[in-house]
Homo-oligomer: A and B are copies of this chain.
Amino acid sequence: MRTITFSQAVNEAIAEELRRDPTVFLWGEDVAEAGTPFKVLSGLVEEFGPERIIDTPISEPGFVGMAVGAALTGTRPIVDLMFGDFLFLVMDQLCNQAAKQSYMSGGKLKVPMVLRTNLGATRRSAAQHSQSLQALVAHIPGLKVALPSSPREAKGLLKSAVRDDNPVVIFEDKLMYQAKGPVPEPEEEELIPFGQANRLQEGEDLSLVATSSMVQVAEEAAEGLRAEGYSADVIDVRTLVPLDEDTILASVRKTGRVIVLDEGHQSYGATAEIASRIADKAFYHLDAPVTRFGAWDVPVPFSPALEDQTVPDVARTVERALQLIRGEVARA
């Protein structure tokens, strides 16, 4: 397999879907000539023209609402939301409108749209440009939520998203855009299905269940554990909705110990759902309490002296994993 960047993988996925289906188009702010501030979409307007790669005004609620209307009437919009933090601006159109059309109409309407946005702190972008808000949309029935963890995942999940007949929110990790990884050749089309978690490493002592940016942390933590003589299952959740409970539970039933990692704020975040399902459904298999690592419950601080510690990291994950494995967790 060739090696390309996450950013290229996203670009390819969109280009391939635009070529395949003329009803697919894309809009957002500075997506055409500028190719987004992250340059993820560079080149697309040259191939597909400004009728299909469309620069909008700075009107997130408006163009998300319009995407819902377009999706209801025969097209398949991909919406580029420049920062995940701007989700707050579009929640009404996304959650009151897009998410509910199928249900409220008794199945007569559908909204095949993709909202591409991002997550991730540690870029010194401060509180309004660093949030990881996947838990919010995952809470709303009618939306699907995908979180690619590598270039290959980014391509395969995005292509599936475009073909899904439901509104899908896909979060890309901004920190990963330049990361490289193996991706199948364009000829070998790969659609990664929703609702199937991906086991990246196999182990016996502990399960590490992670999303997006935290998959990398989990993988490195697993390596750290190997150095201590332990092995871990590493599971990439891939989609929060639908959630592949089975794969996660099977792993935990095997290992008896688990850490769940996600870059959103910890409280009322994605780790809570996964952890509480495990605690309920794998209760009799657990040898230690289920640990969650989310971001601190603080707005993301700007200062380099403050920011990094607010996000889960490898060292603390390894440390906690060892405590769990060695039975060193205090019994309150």
Taken together as a complex, chains A and B put the C-alpha atoms of A291 and B126 apart, in Å, by 38
Contact B288 A276 (CB under 8 A): no
Neighbouring B residues of A272 by C-beta, 8 Å: 268, 272-273, 275-276
Are A127 and B140 neighbours in the complex by a CB distance under 8 Å?
Answer: no
Binds B, one of A26-34, A71-79, A117-125, A278-286: A278-286
Q: Are B284 and A280 in contact (CB under 8 A)?
A: no
Q: Are the CB atoms of B103 and A299 closer together than 8 Å?
A: yes
B268 A99 Cβ-Cβ under 8 A: no
Chain A, residues 57-88, CB within 8 Å of chain B (1/0): the string is: 00000000000000000000000000001111
A301 to B100, CA, bound (A): 10
A299–B104 touching, CB < 8 Å? yes
* Contacting residues, chain B, for A87 (C-beta < 8 A): 91
Bound-complex Cα distance A269 to B136 (A):
9
Q: Are B283 and A139 in contact (CB under 8 A)?
A: no
Contacts of A269 in B (CB 8 A): 139, 273
Say if the beta carbon of A332 comes within 8 Å of chain B.
Answer: yes
Q: Is A110 an interface residue (CB 8 A)?
A: no
B residues near A89, Cβ cutoff 8 Å? 91-92
* A309 beta carbon closer than 8 Å to chain B: no
- In the assembled complex, the Cα of A299 lies from the Cα of B88 at a distance in Å of 20
A280 near B290 with CB under 8 A, answer yes
Set of chain B residues within 8 Å of A302, measured between Cβ atoms: 104
**Complexed CA–CA distance, A99 and B131 (Å):** 13
A127 near B139: Cβ-Cβ < 8 Å: no
* Cβ contact within 8 Å between B268 and A270: yes
The reply to whether B279 and A290 contact each other, CB–CB distance below 8 Å, is: yes
Chain B residue at minimal CB-CB distance from A284: B331
Contacting pair A136 B136 (CB below 8 A) = yes
Q: Which 5 interchain pairs have the tightest Cβ spacing? A: A279-B279, A283-B289, A272-B272, A139-B268, A88-B91
Please, could you name 26 A-B residue pairs with CB atoms under 8 Å apart, sorted by A? A87-B91, A88-B92, A89-B91, A96-B128, A100-B128, A103-B127, A136-B139, A138-B268, A139-B264, A139-B269, A141-B265, A141-B267, A240-B268, A243-B267, A253-B332, A268-B272, A271-B276, A272-B272, A272-B273, A272-B275, A275-B276, A279-B290, A280-B292, A281-B289, A281-B332, A283-B290
